[in-house]
Copies of this chain bind each other. A is one copy, B any other.
């Protein structure tokens, strides 16, 4: 059986390591690139190299941006007393694309996950508590809200619970909320899993 040339093999191997790209897609991508102009490949390669070099991690919320303090944290129209805590920078983008949220964010950098050896100290929880401590001293607690928007997974729930307890150690009167979970819009009760259904019932609201 003939082997791919080394340059093709190397690129297929590199593509295969990306999420959602298997051996067949990787091969297809490489042979597609073989037929594109070199300028297109140069541009892709360059954008890759510049990715981490050009990006700044916001010193306030740890999201990604073009500046030292990101565009959301430096926007005077945003309500700095409402902090939405998320796992990853992409979650910020998702909520922003939805529109409507006028508060600010705090990116933890993941969720507590003992199997992957990720403990609370590996996340930006100390930094979040510092932000909250400062807010408690400076603003009216009634205006404050910490929205825990970690994923509704085992790890995300555990992280939310851990953060809730740590905030309560600072001040029991701080408003802490958790994003709603239940059936997604457009879903069918018949096909819902038990955990989601049970959560949807727990989270029922009077109408």
Answer whether residue A137 sits at the interface, using C-beta atoms and an 8 A cutoff: no
Contact of A18 among B17, B29, B64, B66 (CB under 8 A): B29
Contacts of A13 in B (CB 8 A): 47
* A93 in contact with B4 given A17-B40, A29-B18, A88-B31 (CB within 8 Å): yes
State the oligomeric state as a number of copies. Answer: 2
Contact of A2 among B4, B10, B28, B93 (CB under 8 A): B93
Chain A interface category by residue count: 35 or more
Q: Which residues of A contact B (CB under 8 A)?
A: 1-8, 10-11, 13-15, 17-20, 25, 27-35, 38, 40-56, 64-66, 71-72, 88-90, 92-93, 96-97, 99
Contact of A41 among B40, B41, B52 (CB under 8 A): B52
Bound complex: CA of A19 vs CA of B30, how far in Å?
10
